[in-house]
Structure 1
Amino acid sequence: MIEVYIDGASAGDPGPSGAGIFIRGHGQGEHYSFPLGHMSNHEAEYCALLKALEICLSKKYKTVSFRTDSQLIERAVEKRFAKNDTYSPFLEKALEHIDQFDLFFIKWIPSKQNNVADELAKKGIQLNRK
C-alpha cells in the first residue's frame, strides 16, 4: 500500500501558500513541493490533497492511504461533505479523484508525525517568491 503524507501551508491567512507531499511506497520516497499563489491555509490544505491525488492517479497507484494533520480535510473527505461552501468545489473534485481508486483511506495524524510534508509545504511557499 502506498502511504501519502500531505500538508498545505500559508505565510499569512491568506498569504503566499505551498503544498507539500511525501509519498512512501515500493521501497522509495517521493518528495513534492508546489507553490500555490495567494490563498488561505485551508485552501492550501485542499490543494495539497488534490495535487497528491493527481500524482497518485498519474502513477496508477490503486490502493492509497493518505495522512493529513488537517482535521478539516480528514472530516470533509470521510463525511463527503464540506461545512463551508467555499471548500465544496475543492472537495467535489477530490471525491471524483478518490472514487477512481480501488481502495482509499485517509487518517488524521498529529503535526509532529507530518513533519516531512510540512517542510515540503514551507518550501512550496518559498517557490512563490522565485
Structure 2
Amino acid sequence: MVEVYIDGASAGNPGPSGAGIFIKRENGEVNRHTIPLGTMSNHEAEYYALLHALDICIHEGITTVSFRTDSQLIDAAIEKRYVKNQTYKPLLDEALAKIEQLELFFMKWVPSKQNRADELSKRAIQLNQTTE
C-alpha cells in the first residue's frame, strides 16, 4: 500500500502558506512535493495539502493509499465526514469526492515529529517569496 504523508503550514494565520506531500510507494520509491499556496490560514493549508495529494494519487493511478496527517482537524473531518466550521465544508466535500475515486483509502493521525511532510510544507512557505 502506498503511504502518503501530508502537511500544510502557514507563517502567520493567515500568512504565506505551503503544502508538503511525501509519497512512499510499495517498491520503496519516494516522491516529495513542495507546493506554495499563497496567503491563507493554517487550517486551509492543511486542506489544500490533502487536496493536492489526492490529485497526485488520482493523476498517477494510485488507488490504494494510507494517508498520514498531523492535523487532528483533517483527521476528524475525514473520519466523521463533517466539519463544525462551515468555512471548510466546500474543501471537505471536494476531498470526499476525490476519496470516492480511490479503491481503498485510510487516514491516520501521526505526531508532527513522525510526519515526513512537515519539513516539506515549511520549505513550500519559502517558495511563496520566490514566485510572487
TM-score over 0.5 (shorter chain):
yes
In 1, Cα distance between the equivalents of 2:14 and 2:50?
A: 18
Asked if 1:109 corresponds to 2:113, the answer is no
1:8 is paired with a residue whose SS is strand
1:36-62 superposed Cα distances (whole Å, 9 cap, x missing partner): 000000000000000000000000011
Structure 1 alignment gaps of length 5 or more: none
1:54 corresponds to which letter in structure 2?
Answer: D
Query: How many matched pairs?
Result: 129
Which whole-Å deviations, capped at 9, do the CAs of 1:21-78 have from their partners, x for residues lacking one? 0000132100000000000000000000000000000000110000000000000001
Alignment of 1:72-83 (within 5 A): 72-83=73-84
| 1:118 partnered with 2:102 | no
Report the Cα distance in structure 1 between the residues aligned to 2:34 and 2:4, rounded to whole angstroms.
14
Q: Identity of paired residues, percent?
A: 65
3-state SS of the aligned residue for 2:53? Answer: helix
Name the structure 1 match of 2:2.
2
Number of the residue aligned with 2:23: 23
Gaps of 5+ in 2: none
Q: How does 1:1-130 map to 2 (within 5 A)?
A: 1-25=1-25, 26-114=27-115, 116-130=116-130
Counterpart CA distance in 1 for 2:91 and 2:10 is 17
Letter in 2 for 1:6: I
Any runs of at least 4 consecutive aligned residues in structure 1 with deviations exceeding 6 A, and if so which?
none
- The alignment partner of 1:86 has SS state of helix
**TM-score scaled by structure 2?**
0.96
CA distance in 1, matches of 2:63, 2:44: 26
Q: RMSD between aligned alpha carbons?
A: 0.6
